[in-house]
Structure 1
Amino acid sequence: MVDPFKDIESFDRAGMLNLISRFPEDIKRALELTESIEIEETEIDNIIISGMGGSAISGDIIQAWLRERSIYPIYVNRDYDLPGWAGRKTLAIFLSYSGNTEETISSFNFAIKRGCRCISISSGGRLEEESRKRGIPHIKIPSGYQPRAAIAYLLFPCIRIFEELGIVEAGSEIRECMEVSREVREENGMNVELEKNPAKRIAKEIKDTFPNIYGWKYLVPVARRWRTQINENSKMIARFDEVPECNHNDVVGWTQRNEISSLSSCILLRDRRYETRRI
């Protein structure tokens, strides 16, 4: 079978595949950047993670991951302002790869006015400047990445903040993540032929369709991430939804207009170890 991905460099002009293949090494480097971080203990009632696009997805992952473990409610904020309940007992973490994201800078200023406990992460920009000026802890990450390829540098420093605050102990899970990431990279590498490469087979299957990606619990942000990666990298329309909510509305949409649904593809992200029989 001819492998249509052999000439990937001709359409992956940004080198995105090479960037994301460095994910395990990026995790290690991101953790090294936070080795000296010290977060002063303080009384908090809730946590807000603010960001947009490829920055905000780190908040989604943490929110889903700690859903049943964090004693504090975690809210992911994608807006110019903050919820009305944000205040002096709010830990507000601001993520902007460039440091100049308009919405994130605006919500950062709202947090300052509300007296929130703030921490910021960026590769520079106004977010770093304002944080340094105000004495707010800032974690500086490497520049030169596409924001959507810099997830390791936005996610794992956040996890270290949660560790410093005693919310979670993630050492073993981070090591597992790095190990599994290496295995996934090997299994789906560019030199792995089509028949043995799950990523290539899925890409070939959904080509020229409207992908619909469904996730459950901690896989919902993964479904969102797939959708946005397809949007930005492949310049394709794609959407995501979550189980079980989609069982009450989305599924009905598939029962009519076959001329539209026939052009669509479905990707179901599942984990049989944890999902209930009803899923």
Structure 2
Amino acid sequence: MPWVDENRLDDADALRTLDSRDSLRSLASAGAQVRRALVSAQEAGIERVSGGERPRSVLVAALGGSSLVCDVLDLLAEPGSPVPVLTRRDAPLPGWVGPLDLVIAVSQSGRAAGPLALAAEAARRGASLLTVGAADSPLADVSARARGVHVDVALPTPSSRTALWGMLTPVLIAADAMGLAHVPTATLERVADLLDQVAEECRPSSDAFVNPAKVIAVGLGETVPVVLGDGPLTGVAACRAASMLSRTARVPATHGALPDAASQVVATLDGPFGSGTPSGGTRQGDDIFADPFLDGPAAPRLGLLVLRDPGLDPAAAGLADAVVASAREAGAVVQECAARPGEPIERLASLVALTDFAATYLALGLGLDPSVSRHVRELRDRTG
């Protein structure tokens, strides 16, 4: 069974040694990423996107650690966008995309095959192009040839997972300029301040019993985690959290959003990780006479991490309360995290920042380097 070493989490030197590529430091730079992206977008002339006019439609291409950019723009634009906003992870580019449309391609390295292929095909068809990624990269070259707008990701980070806010901010600036979503500069500046606050609270020197990210990491350390959002906004945050738990902490995690996922989550409470066992008996962990040497190790419990949005209507909040009550009664390890008040992007940022730190601390607590995975490296070698 996985076991989180709390002593390691409270040892700043041990964390620094294990975190070979400074993932914690990169996460702490999120606020700086927002501020630098505001400057980079202005320098790139982002107001020229789509010729200064509103496009017929917007298609966002991003994958892997950048894929949250698609989900966030879709979330923010859906309530009132005057044009369709669609997302695509990989080729082919839909046949209807043409000169009246805008394609936004995001890749930290500027070399991700999916966004690069979509950007190149969009340029061939004469669509407007906004690209976000490394300077002097193939993606930047495609944008330059198509007379598009390319915004450099200026602050170095070890992976696209820790470069999120440098990639997301230019897209939000463009969305606000075109009237697709309300994300003015003042709001983004508040997001940067909020990200700094979360980074301060989750700093490595903060003790495990007061550091909110370490508390989550310790709570999930011996569980099979499920991340549940209580609505659309927290559902996006839940998707990001599950991805970070899997990719960073190497813990297989599932996610869902209410109301759709209510029965799906509650059904698992009857299974081997909830109150039931495959044989219909009791869990070893619930039996005070169980002998771990004779009976085998205790099965991990279900760990339910519930992300709450204070802006949700009472009916939706009531459903989340009911799911939490059922999970507690079934013996699941339940943790709840409430978004901080503010505009939608501020509430989302507070949850994403906290769970990003939690997943990284979980990796470190398990004795894993958050940025280096042998199997991921081998997969890349095998696939060229």
- TM-score normalized with structure 1 length: 0.90
Label 1:274 to 1:162 Cα distance change in 2 as closer, same or farther (>3 A). same
**What SS class does the counterpart of residue 248 from structure 2 fall into?**
helix
Q: Deviations over 1:143-169 (max 9, x none)?
A: 632211111210111111123324335
CA distance, structure 2, for counterparts of residue 91 and residue 190 of structure 1: 42
Does 220-229 or 78-87 show the bigger shift? Answer: 78-87
Supply the AA of the counterpart residue of 1:12: D
Does 232-241 or 197-206 show the bigger shift? Answer: 232-241
Supply the AA of the counterpart residue of 2:207: E
Corresponding position: 1:4 with 2:15: no
Q: CA deviation at 1:218?
A: 1.4
CA distance, structure 2, for counterparts of residue 123 and residue 231 of structure 1: 26
| 8 Å contact kept, 2:226–2:303 | yes
CA distance, structure 2, for counterparts of residue 242 and residue 57 of structure 1: 15
**What SS class does the counterpart of residue 88 from structure 1 fall into?**
coil
Q: Deviations over 1:186-220 (max 9, x none)?
A: 22221111221111111001013222111221122
What are the ranges of 5 or more consecutive residues in structure 1 without an aligned counterpart? none
5 Å matches for 1:53-202? 53-124=64-135, 125-142=137-154, 144-145=156-157, 146-167=159-180, 168-202=182-216
What RMSD in Å do the two structures reach over aligned CA positions?
2.3
**What SS class does the counterpart of residue 265 from structure 1 fall into?**
strand
Counterpart of 2:22 (choices 15, 23, 44) is: 15
CA distance, structure 2, for counterparts of residue 259 and residue 203 of structure 1: 25
Aligned counterpart, 1:30: 37
Q: Deviations over 1:212-268 (max 9, x none)?
A: 111221122211111122222212211211211112544334433444895331111
What are the ranges of 5 or more consecutive residues in structure 2 without an aligned counterpart? 279-298, 320-384
Aligned counterpart, 2:219: 205
| 8 Å contact kept, 1:3–1:193 | no
- TM-score normalized with structure 2 length: 0.67
Q: CA deviation at 1:116?
A: 2.3
CA distance, structure 1, for counterparts of residue 66 and residue 207 of structure 2: 33
How many residue pairs are counted as aligned between the two chains?
Answer: 279
Supply the AA of the counterpart residue of 1:61: V
Q: Deviations over 1:164-188 (max 9, x none)?
A: 3243352232122122222212222
| 8 Å contact kept, 1:46–1:74 | yes
**What SS class does the counterpart of residue 82 from structure 1 fall into?**
coil
CA distance, structure 2, for counterparts of residue 73 and residue 153 of structure 1: 24
Counterpart of 1:256 (choices 267, 271, 287) is: 271
| 8 Å contact kept, 1:51–1:104 | yes
Supply the AA of the counterpart residue of 1:157: P
CA distance, structure 1, for counterparts of residue 302 and residue 93 of structure 2: 36
CA distance, structure 2, for counterparts of residue 17 and residue 93 of structure 1: 29
